[in-house]
Amino acid sequence: LGSSVMVPVTNGRFNLGTWQGIYQCEHRDHGGRRRLIITIQGESLNS
């Protein structure tokens, strides 16, 4: 089971609305390893 989200970034900051946020929640009753993969795509400000 996987999910994904795309968030715009402007001037190095998340471009979120006033009441928006990013949360990572788990609903499990056991431990174990977790893996979070973050991929960043974009252009350099110096280009």
Encode pLDDT of 1-47 as tens digits: 677 888 888 888 889 999 999 888 888 888 888 888 888 887 777 75
Phi-psi region of 9 (alpha: psi -120 to 50; beta: other; left: phi over 0): beta
Q: Into how many domains does the chain fold?
A: 1
Provide the whole-model pTM: 0.51
User: Residue 18: what pLDDT?
Assistant: 93
Task: Give, as one character, the DSSP assignment of residue 29.
Answer: S
Q: Do 17 and 25 form a contact (C-beta atoms < 8 A)?
A: no
Q: Quote the pLDDT of residue 19.
A: 94
- Residue-range definition of the domain harbouring residue 21: 1-47
Token match 């990572």: residue? 24
